[in-house]
Structure 1
Amino acid sequence: MNDYDFLNDLLLRCPLYDYDQYSPDQRAKILLDSYFQVALYLASPQLFEIVAAKGFDFKALNSRERLSFMRYYNRMSFRPTPFGSFSSFSMAVWGGAAAIILGNKKDAKLHLNIDQEVTLRLSEGLMGNKKEDYTYICNPALYKSGKDFRFIKTSYSQNKKNIFFDLESIEGNTLTNALFGYCAGEIKQGKEIISYMVKKTGCDWETASDYLNFLIDANIVIPHTNTNIIGEDYLQRLLHHPETPLTAIRQDLSAIQDQLIAYNFPDASQLVKISGQVNNLLFSLKHEIEKQVFYAGLERKAVNGNLSIQRQQQIKEGLRVLELLVTPVQTSLLQQFIYDFKARYDLRKVLLLEAVDPEIGIGYGPLVSTAAETDLLRHVKFADQQNKKVNLEWSMVHRLLFKKWNENFKSTAPIQLNDSDLSQLSPDQTFTSPPTLPVVFRVLGDHIYLETIGGASATALIGRFTAWSNKVHELGRELASKEQLANPNVIFADIGQLSDTHADNINRRQHIYDYEIPINSISTFPVEQQIALSDLWISVVGNELVLESKSHDRVIVPRLTSAYNFSRNNLALFRLLCDLQYQGLNGNYSFDLEQYFPGMAHYPRVVYKNTILSAAKWYLSAQNLKELKEAAESEAIIRFKIMRETLQLPSLIALSQFDQQLIFNIDKENEIVFLLDCLKSMVTAVFQEFFLPAEPIVTSEGKPLVNQFIAFLYKNQEVYKGNRIPDVMIRPKVQQDYILGGKWLYLKLYCAPAIANDLLVKKLLPLLNQLGETELLLWFFIRYRDSGYHIRLRLKINESAVGNILARLKKRLADTVHYHLIREYQADTYRREMERYGPDIITLVESFFCGSSELVLRYIRIATLKSLPYSYHSLAFVSVACLLNCFIPEINDQLIFLEQMVNTFYAEFSTDKSLKIDLDQKFRELKTEISSLLTNEEYYLSLKLTVWANLYKMRIDALQKKTIPFPTKRRNQLLADLIHMHLNRLFIDRQRNQELIIYYCFYKYQLSVKAKKKMSG
C-alpha cells in the first residue's frame, strides 16, 4: 500500500442538522422548520401532504406519523450519506489542520432534477410524429449471427417504472444486410434511411416509411433523442435538441427547468407549486399523476479550513493492516464464464455479443428474461443461494483474531492489534490493488474510523455528484487521467447502461473517462469516442478474460462510474462488463469480524493503534426482541435497561436495517422509547456502536456536524498490462458418442436454455412424429443443469430400429451442431428410477412421463407461434390442477399437501420475509387469471390440444387407481414428484423457483375458495 499517493481533494459528507440540537423534545419545533419541511417533501410527498393538512402540528399526528417523522429527524441529524436535502456533500482539501467550517444552511445549494421516471413520461410528449425528420442510430447491441441479426431490446412498462430486456432477432436478407451496414456506426436522418430503402428495393416512399416505423418500434433503430445516462442531463439535452419541436409543452418544461436552476434552496411551498406544474403536463399527456417528482442533491461549501495531512499516514497504516486481514474474493460468475469460455472456444477470439448470447454463445447468467419465464418470475426476488455460502476455511487471520478475542478479559473489550501480531501474516500476492482507491472514513479526535474501502476505481463513489458539481467532475476527470497515465496499454471506457428509472436517478453523471461503451443508452460523445459493442472481442489469456477493441487495437477496461449495485440488473451483458472491472483486483478492503466468525451474538471493536477497523455490534436475540415488543411501554423500558447491562451496550448505538440507520442515546429514556417504537416493526435487530467526532466539522455558527470523508488514492504503477493473444481461429471440437442395443435409447442434448424449446418442437418433435409405432414405443424428456444445461431424451424403441433412429437423429441435428446451437450430444445408458418410484409402478410412471411430454411439447409448439391467447404459465395451473384433483379430491387434504410443499420450498430457498411479500403480490396479480383458467372447461379445446389432454388425463387416472391402496405419505410423495417432473418439462429454466410460485398461488387460491364456500353456507 506504500505505492499509493493522495490526491489533494477530499469529499466531505455531513447531515444538514447539527447533532447538538437533536432531541425528541424538539419535535414540534423541528416540524415547523422550513428546511425540514423541504427534506420531508423530497423524501415522502405523501407524508408531507398528511402533515401539511394537519397544519404541521405535531400533536395532531397519529403514532405512526410521529414515528415516521422521528426517523427523518434522526437521519437529518446523524446520517451523512447524501439523500435529498437530509445531508450534503462538500469539497475539502488536505492541509495544516485548520478546522473545517461549512457554510450555513441558507448558503447551501439544493440541486434539483426532474425524477427520471417522470422525465421519460414527459419526453414522449416532447417529440412529434414526423419520424422521418429525426435522426437515428442502430441498436448498439445489434450483431449478425448466421443468417439473422440479433439484438437486445430495451422496453419500459407504460408508467416507466419497470424496464425489460429481451433477446430478439430479425431475418437477414438483401435489404436488412444492406440497410444495417448503411446505418452502422453513424447517425442517419429518417429521410436518408427511407430514401436508401426506396433506392435499394424500388418500393414507394410510404412503404419504406412504414418499415422505418417497424424498425423503430422493434428497437432495432433508435432515435438519437432517446435517453442518455452519461453527459448533459437528458431532459436538458432534449429541451435544447434541434429535433425537439417548438411546442407549448417544451416551453412549459423549459420554464420549469429554469425555475429549478434559479432556486438556491426553495421552500416546500415552491416545490409543491413546481410539482403541480409538472403533474399538469403529465395529465395533459394522459399519464398518471406522480407524487415523487424530484431527485435532489444538497451541496455546501467549505468556507474555511482543511484536514490535517497527518491523517494520511494513519490511513496508509490502516490500509496496510487491512491488506493483511482481508481475503480477496473474485466474482464466481466471471470465473465460471472463463471456465466455460475456454471449454467452448479454447484460444479463439469471439465477438462479445456472440459469447454472451445464451442461444449462440455461452451466456452469462440470466442475459434476458425469456418469454417462458417473464410473467411468472417477474418481480419475485429469490435470494442468491451461492452468496449465502460461508467460507469455513480456517486461516492464519482466523487464528490471530480468535486468539486476540479470547485473550480479552471481557468478551466485549476491543480487539487491539499490534505490529507483533501482524508480523505473523503476509499479504495475498494473487491479486493487485486498484489503480485508484476511495477510502471512506470518519475523524474521531486522535482516532480515525475506516468505514468502507474498495471498488475497482475511486470514480464510482463520486459519479452521481458530477451531475451537480463542476469541482467534483474535475476531481473525477483527474482520477481517470491518473489511471490512464499509469496504464498506457489499455483504454478505460465508461459503461452507458439504462437500468430501472429509480436507479437511473443515481446513475446520471457527467463523462469522466475519454471513451464510452453504450449498451442501450444514447451516447453524447462523438462517434470516435464511442466503443461499439460490435467492435468488442473477448478471449482468455491464461485464466483472465481479455476484452479488446478491433478498431482501436487495444485492450478495453470497462468502468461503471456509479455506485449503483449492478448485480440487481438482469442484463448479463452489462453485468459481465461490470464484473470485468474487478478481474485480478482486490476490490474490497472493508473489514468485518462477522465474516470470519458468523453467527455470534456480539462482535467487539477491532483497532490497530489509533485506527478503528470495525465497530462493535450486537445481534438482539429473537426472544429478547419478542419480550420488548410484547411488553407495555414502562415494562419494555425496564427490560431494555436490564438487557443493556447484560449486553454492555454503550451510550450511543446505531440501529441498522437495509440502507437505513438511526442513532440513539440510550442514556436518555425518551430515546429508549423511540428505539422501542422502531423495534416493533423489525423481525431482527442489530445494534452497532456509534462514534461522535471529538473535533467535529462545524457550521459558520459553530454548530457541530457528524462527518464522513472520502479520500482518493492513486498509484503510478501499471495495473493493466494490456496482454493479448494473436488473432487465431481454432475450430471447436465436437464430441460425439454412440451406443448400440437395448430397449431404451438415452440422449443428452447440450444447448443454451433460450433455444431449448425451439430444439424440442422444431427438431425433435417432427422426427418423433415420423417414427412409426413399431419403431418408437414410448418417449419422454426432462431438462437438466448439472454439467451444463441439457435436454435428456429417453426413447423406448424396437431394438432392431436403433441404427435407423440414430442415423435419422444425427441427420436431423446436423445443422444445429454446425451453427453451434447444440454444443454436443451424447448417448448414455438409461437407468430406471426404481428406488424413487418402485418396481410396482415404474411402467405407469414412464407412461405418465410420455403423456406429460406429449402435452407439453404440443403446447410449446403453439406458444412459439406468438398467437397464444393465454399466458405461457397457464398450462402449469390447468395441468397441475388435474393432477391435484385426481390424487387429492378433497380441498382440505389439498390444502395440507400444498402447505407442506410451500414450507419445503421455503426451507430450500432459506427465505426471508421479503420473498413472502413478493409471492403475495404475485398471487394478487394472478388471482383473477387462475380463477378464470380453473373454471374454463374449453381451455384445451381452444388450443386444439384435447387429444393430448385426454391422453395426459388417462395416464394420470391409471396411476391414481394403481396407488389407491398406497399410504398417504407415499401417494403425496409420488404426486410431488410427478408435478415436479411435469413443470420441469414446461419451464425452460429456474424450474424450482417457478414451482414454488405455482404451489404458493394454488395454496392461496384454495384458501380463498374454501373461505367463499364457508361464507356461502
Structure 2
Amino acid sequence: MKDFNESLFLPASTFMVRVPQLPIDDFYDLLKNANLYEKLFTFYENNPIIQESILIASPSLYEGLANRHQSSNKRIKQLASSLLKYISRMSTRPTPFGLFSFVSMGKWGSGTELFFNFKNVKKRARTDIAWLASVLAKICEENILLPSVLIRTNPLAYTVGGRTYLKYIRKKNNKNSKQKISVRNSPLIKRIIELSKTPIAMLSLEEKILFDYPKIERNKLQILIRQLLTKQILRLSIMPSLLSETPFEDFINNVENSFGKIATIAYLHRLLKEIENYSEISLGKGVIQLKELFTKMNKVSNSGFTPLQIDSAYPSNLLTLNKKISNELSEVSEILWKLSFWKKDLNPLKSYHSEFLNKYGSSRIVNLKEVLNEDLGLGIPETYKGKNLKHYNISEEEEKFIQWLRKEYEECLYKRKQEIVLNEKFLKNLTTNIDKTEALLSFDITCEIIANSQQDIDAGNYLIFVPFITWEGGSTSSRFLDLLGDSAKSYMKDLIHNEELLEKNTLFSDISFMPFDIRTGNVCIHKNFRKYVIDLDNPLSKFGKQISFDDIYVGATSKRLFLTLKNTKKELVVRAHHLFNPDLAPEIVKFLREVSSERYSNISPFFWGDLEQSFFLPRIIYKKTILCAAQWIITLDILQMKKNIKPQQLEIPFNNWAKKWKIPRYVFMTVGDKRVLLDRKQSEHLHEILKEIQKGNEVKLIEKLGQNKGCWVKSERGLHVSEFTISFIKNKKYSSPEDFSQIPVHKDILLKDRIKLPGSEWLFAKFYMNQDSENYFIAELLPKFINAILHQKIINQFFFIRYKCKNGDHLRIRFKGKKGILASKLIPLLHDWILELYEDQLIKDYHLSSYEKEIERYGGAELMDYAENFFFFDSYCTIVLLQLIKNKAINFPNYVVAALSIIDLLKNCGFNVDESIKFLSFSNKDKNELIGFREWRKPLTDLSKVMMQDNLFENKNDKIQLLKKTFTIRKEALLKYSKKIKQKGKNISIIETLIHIHCNRFLGTNHSLEKKARVYALQSLISLRHLSIVGSH
C-alpha cells in the first residue's frame, strides 16, 4: 500500500462542507403528489425558511407568489415552474446562494460524524456591491465633493499613440468586458494623469495644474476633472476595497471623508445597524424585517438588484470525516495532475514567451506596462484577442491514453455501457517520466461523497465524485471566513504560510480588483493573508504592503516568463484568492496570473479532449472515485424533430431516446450555467426538460449519482445532500524552487543609448529572401558590398544574423559608421544594390528599421562595444567558413565545422577540456542528435585535439590549417570580450548566447542543426578526455 507521506499532495487539516437548507426527503416526498404544482404552493406557504430564501433570491418571485390567487392560469404555471426549480435547488444543490445552503468547517478523524442542528445556523447580511455603487452615483449627483477628496489615475488606463485608453469599464449589469473608451492626450490631460498617479487631494491637483497652466479658469478645470472621473480615467477612493471584511462601514467613512456630514450619512449608519440586527434573527423569522430593509435601502438608491448579499454558516468544531477520504483524494489528485501534465505545453503564453525572448532576450527585465504597451513593447498576447492557441505536440504517452480512451468510448457506444474503469497499472506505465517538482503548490478539490450512512463511510463503502478543482488552495472558502470564525481564519493563514514556505525565495502577492460587472464583485470579497497585495481600487496599507503595476517587471528564462520586483532578485507570484473567472479580469491582471501559473504544471478535472462535445459521455471511475459522471446532450436535431413544436409532442420521442440510451430516472438538467435536479418520470419535471428542448436549447442531462440513495449527512430535518471542499498542498519532499539569484538587475538606460534609429551611427536593414538563398547571399553577394563600403570608409563595422518570423525569413544586417556619412552615402549605395537584387530576384523585400541593442543580454552598456566588435569579426569568420564549404576547400558537413567552431569559441573564452565538457553538458540532453556521430568520432576527436592547441601551424593538414586560420579572424575580438566578461563577473549565459548567435550565422535558423553541432562538440571533447586519460596510463 502506498505510504501516505510519499503522496505528491497532502490535504489541509480541515475541510469545508456545503449543505442545502432542505433535506433530500423533501424533494422525493413532493414527487409523490399527483398535483405537484399545488403541493409546491402549499409547501412554500407552510415553510417560512423557503419564503425568506425566495425573498432574498428573487423579490419579484416572492411578490408573484404572494399574489398568485389574483393571477392568470398561465402566470400561475410560470410561478410553479420557478418555485419547482428553487425548491429543487434548496434540497439537492449545496452550492452557496443566499439562504439556499450553508457552509461549515470540519476536520479529519478516525471516524465520521456530521450532524447539523439548524437552530445553530447563522446568517450574515452585507450590502450588495452594485447597490453601493448606485448609492455613490446618486450622492455624487446631489452633493459637492470636498476639496480634500483623494483622486488617483485609474491603474488600468494606458497610453497608445497619443491617446489614453481604458478597456475595463465598470458598470451595473455590464456584460461586455471588452468595452473601451479613450481621451486625447492633450498636454493638460497628460499633466492631470501624471500628477494623479498617486492619490492626490482634489484641491492640490487643481492648484498644481493652475500653476502650470495659469490661463485656465478653475471652473473649466473642474469640469474637465469631472469628465475624466465620469470616464473612469480618474478615480475617487470611495468604493470600499474588496479586501475589507466590513465594506459598508468603510464605504460610509469614505463618503463622509469625501462629502462631509451630508444627510445621507446618518441614514446609512441607521441602515448598517438594521442590517446587523437582521443578521441576528433566526432563519425563517426575518421576512418582515428583510422587506422593510429592502424598502429603506431602495429608497436611498435602487440598483435594480437585491440590495443585500446574504450567506449562512454553521459554526462548529465537532464535525469529523474519516481520513480514509483524504487519503483517497490525495491519490486521485495525483492521478488527475499527471493526466493534466500532458497539457502543460498548451500554454496561452507560449508564443508570447518566444516574442519576448526575440525582443528582449533573457538578460533583461522590462517594466510590465511597457511590455503590454503595443507602441513600446509587445502589446497584449494574441490569445487575449480571441485568437486560438496553436496545436501543441502530443507526447507518445498521451497518444496512447487518447487511443485507449477512444477505444473504451467506442465500446460504450456499441454495447450501451455507461462506465469506463481507469486501470491503475495502465496509468502508472503512462506517467512514469513525469517530474513531480513541477506540480502546482496548492489547489481545492470539491467533491461529493456517495454513501448510505456514516457507518458505511467508516467501513469503506462509499464513492467519491470529483466535479470541480480550483488552482489556488483556499480560494473556494475565502469569502465565508468572516462567517466561519477565527478558527477558519487561522486555518487559512496556516495554509497560505505553508504554501509560501515551499518557495522561500519567492514573493507572493494577492490581487484585488472590481469586476467590469460591478455586482460580481460580491464573490471577490475576501481577507488578504499575504504580506504583499496589488489593490487596484483602494490601496491601503492596512490590507498589506501595496505593489503597483509600475513596481512589476517581466523577464524570461529559456522555458517561461516570470515576474519580479525591481532589484529584488526574487520571483513574484500573483494570486487572486477568490473564484471570479480569471478570463473576465482586466487583461493586465489576467497576464499577471497566467505568468504566475506558468511556472507550475496545473491540475484539472478529467478532460475528454476531442470527445468533450459528444452527445454521450460515460462515467469515468478510478478505484472508489468517479472522475466524470455519465451525461447526455439532447437537442431537437437529435430527436429528429422540427422547430415550432409543442413540448408535449416531444414526450414520446424523448422517452424512446431516453430508454435507448438507458438514461436514469434522476438527472441534473444543465442549460447554460443553470443546473436543476429533475425526475424525468414525473410529468411536471419532464415538462421542464421538454420545454428547454422545444426552445432549441442544447440540454445536458447528467446522472445523479446514487439515484434515490447516497445521502448520509444528518440534521434534525433528515438526510441532506452535501459537498466537501478540501485544500491540498504540495508535499515539501517534491518542492524544488528555481534559483532566481541570477535575475537581471534593472538599469535605467537612456532611450538614445538603447535604440539606434536610421540617421544615427547605426543603420539596420532587413533583407527578405528564400531560406535556400541565404548561404549564397552571405558567401558571395554580401562580402563584395561590405568590402567596398569598408574600403571607402563609409562604414567601420557591420554584423548580421538570420531571422525567421511570421513576416518571412530574412537577414538582419547592422552597419556602423559616422552618422552623417551613413545617411548621405550608405543609403544611396544600398538603394542601387537593392535595386539590382530585386531585378535579379534574389530578395523579396527590404526594410530599414531601428536597431534596439540587447544591452543586458551581452553584459551591460560597458561591454556593448566589445560585443559588437566580436559580432563584426564573427560575421567575417562566418562568411569565410561558408566560402570554404561552397568552394569545397573543406569537405566536412556544416554541423561538423560548427562543432569545431564551438570548441574554438570555448577555448578562446578560457575553457579547458573539462570546463568545456561541463559547459556543453548543461544544454545537450537530446541524444537523438548523436545519430551519425560514430563515423565522425575519430576524425572529430583528432580535430578537437588540434583545436585545443595554440600553435596554428602545428598540424600539417591543409584543411585543418584553413579552419584554424579562419577562426583566428575573430580570436582577438573574442579574447578582449571574454576578458571583460570575466572582469565584470558577468553570467556565463553570455558565452551560451555567443555560441547560439554564431550557430545562427553559420547554420541558419534550423535549431536541430545547432543541437547536433553542440552534441558532436561535447562527444568529441569527451572522447579527447578519454584518450588523454588512457594515454597518461
TM superposition score normalised by structure 1: 0.64
**Contact 1:415–1:606 (CA under 8 A) maintained in structure 2:** yes
> 1:272 corresponds to which residue?
291
Give the gaps of 5 or more residues in structure 1: 283-287, 370-382, 741-784, 789-799, 808-812, 821-1017
| Contact 1:115–1:505 (Cα < 8 Å) also in 2 | yes
Report how far residue 14 of structure 1 moved.
1.8
Deviations 1:87-135 (A, max 9, x none): 222222212323201232x543333233222211102344642442223
Partner of residue 765 from structure 2, selected from 736, 742, 750:
736
Look up the equivalent residue of 2:668 and give its one-letter code. Answer: A
Correspondence for 2:508 = 492
Q: In the alignment, which residue of structure 2 is the partner of 1:189?
A: 201
Q: Which amino acid aligns with 2:401?
A: V
Counterpart for residue 434 of structure 2: 429
Kindly provide the amino acid, as one letter, of the partner of residue 449 in structure 2: V
What pairs up with 1:216-615 in 2 under 5 angstroms? 222-241=235-254, 243-244=257-258, 245-264=260-279, 265=283, 267-282=286-301, 290-302=304-316, 304-326=318-340, 327-329=342-344, 332-347=347-362, 348-365=364-381, 395-405=399-409, 410-426=415-431, 429=434, 432-445=438-451, 446-452=461-467, 454-466=469-481, 468-471=483-486, 472-499=488-515, 500-519=517-536, 521-526=537-542, 529-550=545-566, 552-569=568-585, 571-592=586-607, 594-595=608-609, 597-598=611-612, 600-615=614-629
Separation in structure 1 between the aligned mates of residue 853 and residue 231 of structure 2, nearest angstrom = 25
Counterpart Cα distance in 1 of 2:572 and 2:187: 30
Structure 2 gaps of 5+ residues are 1-5, 452-460, 758-763, 770-804, 809-827, 836-846, 855-1033
Q: Name the structure 2 match of 1:12.
A: 17
> What letter is aligned with 1:422?
L
Which secondary structure state, in structure 2, belongs to the residue aligned with residue 395 of structure 1? Answer: helix
Which secondary structure does the structure 2 equivalent of 1:581 belong to?
A: helix
Aligned-pair distance for 1:453?
5.2
Matched letter for residue 523 of structure 1? P
Query: Does the C-alpha gap of structure 1 residues 96 and 426 become closer, same or farther in structure 2, counting only changes over 3 Å?
Result: same
Is 2:383–2:389's contact at 8 Å kept on the other side of the alignment?
A: no
What SS does the corresponding residue of 1:459 show, helix, strand or coil?
coil
The change in CA–CA distance for 1:249 and 1:817 in structure 2 (over 3 A counts) is farther
The reply on whether 1:122 has 2:135 as its aligned counterpart is yes
1:607 aligned partner, one-letter code:
I
Deviates more, 1:605-614 or 1:318-327: 318-327
The aligned runs of 1:755-904 (5 Å cut-off) are 787=807
* 1:200-211 aligned within 5 A: 206=218, 210=222
1:133 to 142, 148, 156: 148
Corresponding position: 1:50 with 2:55: no
- Identity across the alignment (%): 17
Structure 2 distance, partners of 1:493, 1:640, is 52
The secondary structure found in structure 2 opposite 1:83 is coil
User: Which residue identity does 2:304 align to in structure 1?
Assistant: E
Taking the aligned partners of 2:21 and 2:267, their CA distance within structure 1 comes to 32
1:636-680 CA distances to partner (integer Å, 9 max, x unpaired)?
Answer: 544444333211122322221222212123454554344334433
Q: What are the Cα deviations for residues 259-278 of structure 1, in whole angstroms up to 9, with x where unaligned?
A: 22221346444333222212
Match of 1:714 among 729, 732, 739: 729
Aligned residue type for 1:272: K
Q: What does the per-residue CA deviation read over 1:961-980, in whole Å, with 9 as the maximum and x for residues that have no partner?
A: xxxxxxxxxxxxxxxxxxxx
In structure 2, the residue corresponding to 1:558 is in which secondary structure? strand
The 8 Å contact of residues 494 and 560 in structure 1, kept in 2 or not, is answered as yes
Contact 2:271/2:293, CA 8 A, preserved across alignment: yes
Contact 1:51/1:57 (8 A) holds in 2: no
1:69-84 to 2 correspondence within 5 Å?
A: 69-84=83-98
CA 668–55 in structure 1, closer or farther in 2 if over 3 Å, else same: closer
* CA displacement 1:307-348 (0-9 Å, x = unmatched): 111111211222233234333345643222212212222233
Change (3 A) 1:228 1:180: same
Q: Give the C-alpha shift of residue 540 in structure 1.
A: 0.9
Answer yes or no: is the 8 Å Cα contact 2:446–2:466 preserved in 1.
Answer: yes
Q: Summarize the Cα distance change of 1:364–1:137 in structure 2 as closer, same or farther, 3 Å threshold.
A: same
3-state SS, counterpart of residue 298 of structure 1: strand
CA distance in 2: counterparts of 1:158 and 1:670, whole angstroms: 36
Pick closer, same or farther for the CA change 1:153–1:304 going to 2, 3 Å.
same
User: What code does the residue aligned with 1:616 have?
Assistant: A
1:485-525 CA-partner distances (Å, limit 9, x unpaired): 22111111112222121321212222232211133x11233
Q: Deviations over 1:561-618 (max 9, x none)?
A: 121112134x3212201212320323233103x3253454322212122121211122
The DSSP-based 3-state class of the residue aligned with 1:725 is: coil
CA contact (8 A) 1:195 1:205 kept: no
CA distance in 1, matches of 2:470, 2:489: 19
CA contact (8 A) 1:493 1:513 kept: yes
SS in 2 for 1:84: coil
Q: Deviations over 1:780-808 (max 9, x none)?
A: xxxxx9659xxxxxxxxxxx9x969x99x
Say if 1:642 and 1:220 are closer, same or farther in 2 by CA, change over 3 A.
closer
Give the SS at the match of 1:85.
coil
Judging changes above 3 Å, is the alpha-carbon distance between structure 1 residues 419 and 295 closer, same or farther for their aligned structure 2 residues? Answer: same
For 2:744, the equivalent position in structure 1 comes to 726
Structure exhibiting the larger radius of gyration computed from Cα positions = 2
Q: Is the Cα–Cα contact under 8 Å of residues 31 and 56 in structure 1 kept in the other structure?
A: no
User: Is contact 1:54-1:60 (8 Å) kept?
Assistant: no
Contact conserved, 1:453 with 1:588, CA < 8 A, in 2? Answer: no
Residue 72 of structure 1 and its aligned partner are, at CA, apart by 1.6
Distance 1:360 1:619, change over 3 A: same
Structure 1 position 438, deviation (Å): 0.9
Q: Which residue of 2 aligns with 1:910?
A: none
When normalised by structure 2's length, the TM-score is: 0.63
Deviation at 1:172, TM superposition (A): 6.4
Contact 2:18/2:104 (<8 A) preserved: yes
SS in 1 for 2:765: coil
Q: Aligned pair in 2 of structure 1 residues 345, 74: CA closer, same or farther (>3 Å)?
A: same
Distance 1:461-1:85 versus aligned 2 partners, 3 A rule: same
Q: Secondary structure at the match of 1:487?
A: coil
Tell me the equivalent position of 2:1028. Answer: none
CA distance in 2, matches of 1:507, 1:82: 14
> What is the Cα-based RMSD across aligned positions, in Å?
4.3
Whole-Å separation in 1 of the counterparts to 2:352 and 2:108:
43
Task: Report the Cα distance in structure 1 between the residues aligned to 2:308 and 2:390, rounded to whole angstroms.
Answer: 35
- Which position in structure 2 is the counterpart of 1:664? 678
1:912-948 Cα shifts (integer Å, max 9, x gaps): xxxxxxxxxxxxxxxxxxxxxxxxxxxxxxxxxxxxx
Rate the CA distance shift 1:480–1:31 in 2: closer, same or farther, 3 A. same
Structure-1 separation of matches of 2:648 and 2:194 = 76
- Check conservation: 1:620, 1:684, Cα contact below 8 A: yes
Q: Which moves more between the two structures, 729-738 or 529-538?
A: 729-738
C-alpha separation in 2, matches of 1:637 and 1:338: 54
Give CA-to-partner distance per residue, 1:394-453, whole Å, 9 cap, x none: 712123334555677944142223333324311563682211121111111223334245
Q: Report the CA distance between 1:536 and its aligned residue.
A: 0.8
Aligned to 2:949: none
Amino acid at match of 1:544: R
| Matches of 2:71 and 2:714, distance apart in 1 | 29
